[in-house]
Amino acid sequence: MQSWLDVDPTSDFSIYNLPFGVFETRDRAPRAGIAIGDYIVDLAVLAERRLLPLPDHAPHREEDLQRALNRPTLNDFIALSKSVTGAVRLCVQQLLMASSRDAHPPEVWAHALVRQRDARMLMPLRVPNYTDFYSSLHHATNVGAMFRDPKTPLLPNWRHLPVAYHGRASSIVVSGAPIRRPRGQIKRDDDPTPTFGPTLALDFELEMAFVIGKASPLGRPITTSEAEQYIFGLLLFNDWSARDIQKWEYQPLGPFLGKNFASTISPWIVTLEALDPFRVPMPSQEPPPLPYLRASGNQSFDIHLAVDLIAPSGLTLTVCRSNFRHMYWTMSQQLAHHTVNGCNVEVGDLMASGTLSGPTPESYGSMLELTWNGRNPLRLPDGSTRTFLEDGDAVALRGWAERDGMRVGFGEARAQILPALDGEA
């Protein structure tokens, strides 16, 4: 496909992609948009011009669509159903095709296209609930070898179910929002009692998250075969972690203050439809999972991932290159397990993958693994080193899929670390 817009072939936002987000400008209130190259298509403008017709079988009116596109989050739009959101995406794709260049007066596009540099991206979702999984075999093995037993690093349940915990939805922020270094209780191995202060082991976690696009009723599980009907799309997810706070607090109930202070997401949601050409077979699972978790076929995706560490001087080092296909438990299995007990899901819920580490040291998705808990510091090109993240550092997660001339990317999830607040709790 070719667009009449000039789109750089290396752009994440090709005509094959067309992800959804929420933006505002000095003269436009928050609203829904689609990314294409260096531009944003203002969906509210197209809806007002009656250029986004609903499918014939849609149970909604055009007024419902216009109202949803003028909201400050995508929740109402996503809730209209995949038939509507998919039709909107395909309609915009058709409007942007080279063959459609002269189909509408130039003044339509003069108002409907906004340069990304002139817009501010906002949180794309109101997130009712957030769950963080632990689904990379390589990450779980590394952590188990580091803190438990190198010979038997996995806990007995890991290969039988997708391990997860419920995180804090209120502290999820969009790319660009700074992250304040958290404080909490820290217990060093050689101290008899804990102390209170800023974390000395601030870390990133390279993750992706899928967005729930359809609510389910309380008491009704979602099967692995149904799961993708409930998944609207994916985005990048950085689950910031304070490793020293986490180490002291996590037994017996798991992560709390070491995790809930912030998570950063990318502003654009890439739909499952856009990712369909990049499907790959799911990993071999041994032992075979219980019947409710069984799945087959191309349930995973070949999505390249990278993490850049940006020092306060601006010096940038790519510290990790990994891939989404390293996830042992698929999204369908995660959602089936999440709901098998009758737990319901809501539109806008986020389900994060857990750290997406690969099999080699350069693919480890956290500073904890990259430096092996600080024992092997990273060396930056200027000679400085890092065991964990320092104040002023920034981290940028990137993701993209590429095949046969098609590129579908996620932009980035970036944030800079600010010093801890002064004073005692």
In a domain, 6, yes or no: no
Residue with tokens 């969906």: 43
pLDDT band at 424 (very low <50, low <70, confident <90, very high): low
Domain boundary among 121, 144, 163: 121
Same domain, 80 and 213: no
Annotated binding site: 132, 134, 148, 205, 207, 239, 246, 250, 259, 263, 355
Tell me: pLDDT of 326 over 80: yes
Low-confidence winner among 42-56, 259-273, 286-300, 340-354 (lowest mean pLDDT): 42-56
HSE-CB at 16 with a 13 A cutoff on CA atoms is 21
Q: What is the pLDDT of residue 296?
A: 84
In a domain, 5, yes or no: no
Q: Rounded to whole angstroms, how far apart are CA atoms 184 and 257?
A: 7
In a domain, 13, yes or no: no
Q: What is the arithmetic mean of pLDDT over 270-296?
A: 96
The token duo for 164 is: 């997860």
Tell me: pLDDT of 58 over 70: no
- With 0-12 / 13-18 / 19 or more C-beta atoms within 10 angstroms meaning exposed / middle / buried, residue 64 is middle
Same domain, 258 and 111: no
Q: What are the backbone angles phi and psi of residue 283, rounded to the nearest 5°?
A: -70, 155
Same domain, 197 and 307: yes
Tell me: pLDDT of 43 over 90: yes
Residues facing residue 310 across a β-bridge: 316, 394
Q: What is the pLDDT of residue 260?
A: 97
Same domain, 199 and 283: yes
In a domain, 339, yes or no: yes
Domain count, the chain: 2
pLDDT by residue (tens digit) across 328-383?
Answer: 999 999 999 999 999 999 999 999 999 999 999 999 999 999 999 999 999 999 99
Tell me: pLDDT of 57 over 80: no
Average pLDDT of the residues of the chain: 95
Domain boundary among 121, 143, 161: 121
List of E strands, 247-377: 263-265, 270-271, 279-280, 300-301, 304-310, 316-323, 350-352
Residue of 56, 74, 176 whose CA lies nearest to 120: 176
pLDDT band at 98 (very low <50, low <70, confident <90, very high): confident
Residues facing residue 77 across a β-bridge: none
Q: What are the backbone angles phi and psi of residue 183, rounded to the nearest 5°?
A: -120, 160
Same domain, 116 and 134: no
Tell me: pLDDT of 425 over 60: no
pLDDT by residue (tens digit) across 125-163?
Answer: 999 999 999 999 999 999 999 999 999 999 999 999 999
Q: Rounded to whole angstroms, how far apart are CA atoms 203 and 235?
A: 20
Q: In which domain, by residue range, is 61 found? A: 20-121
Q: Rounded to whole angstroms, how far apart are CA atoms 305 and 321?
A: 6
Annotated binding site for substrate: 134, 148, 246, 250, 355
Q: What is the arithmetic mean of pLDDT over 198-204?
A: 98
Annotated binding site for Ca(2+): 132, 205, 207, 239
Q: What string of DSSP letters covers 160-185? A: TS--EEE--GGGEEETT--EEPPEEE
Q: What is the pLDDT of residue 101?
A: 77
- Chain length of the chain: 425
Judge whether 338 counts as a catalytic residue: no
Q: What is the arithmetic mean of pLDDT over 412-419?
A: 98
> Per the residue annotation, which of 60, 138, 139, 338 is the catalytic one?
139
**Residue 115: which CATH number?**
2.30.30.230
In a domain, 88, yes or no: yes
**Residue 381: which CATH number?**
3.90.850.10
Residues facing residue 42 across a β-bridge: 33
Q: Rounded to whole angstroms, how far apart are CA atoms 54 and 202?
A: 47
Same domain, 366 and 307: yes
Same domain, 238 and 342: yes
Residue 420 DSSP symbol: P
Q: What are the backbone angles phi and psi of residue 80, rounded to the nearest 5°?
A: -70, -15
Cα Rg of the chain, angstroms: 22
